[in-house]
Amino acid sequence: MMFAFCLMPQVSASELESPQGRVLLTVSGKIERTNAAGEARLDRQMLSRLPQSSVTTLTPWTEQPRRYEGVLLSDLLQYLQVSGHRIKASALNEYFTYLDLSELGRYPLLLATRVDGKQMRVRDKGPIWLILPLSEFPELDEVKYHEKMIWQLRHLDVLE
């Protein structure tokens, strides 16, 4: 498993670029860096320019381990200068779950945009699937954590 931890340079909120392509992820709430009214809208290209990581893991929805690639949630939150510790994650189909970073923050939560080298599509649980490294950390292989592995992720609302 590969983890990429990188310190992002501090820049002012006004320096977050606007998306040029279709917005895949919107982040709102307790964030400093925005490119819209109180939120950050990110397209595929913007996400791909952040430090990339990968994890190979088995999930309850796959028959064999798959290799997922994308940006670590911790890197995205640092990039956007987030100050909260609880996040409401919402999917395209209105499913939502809460992520408690005081509990999950010690694990490399991956916002996967690719699986086995291919871009994830909506029909493949994409374009973004929050992957927990279940194979690497067996303590996460429980239903209460499976429910956090939200696919077709579209919005993160940083709460408190």
Enumerate domains of the chain plus CATH numbers.
28-158 (3.90.420.10)
Give the span between the Cα atoms of 143 and 60, in whole angstroms. Answer: 9
Give residue-wise pLDDT tens across range 53-78: 999 999 999 999 999 999 999 999 99
Question: Percent of the chain, pLDDT > 90?
Answer: 88
Collapsing DSSP to helix, strand or coil, 127 comes out as: coil
pTM (global) more than 0.85? yes
Q: Give the pLDDT score at 114.
A: 98
Quickly list H helices, 28-141. 44-48, 73-79, 101-104
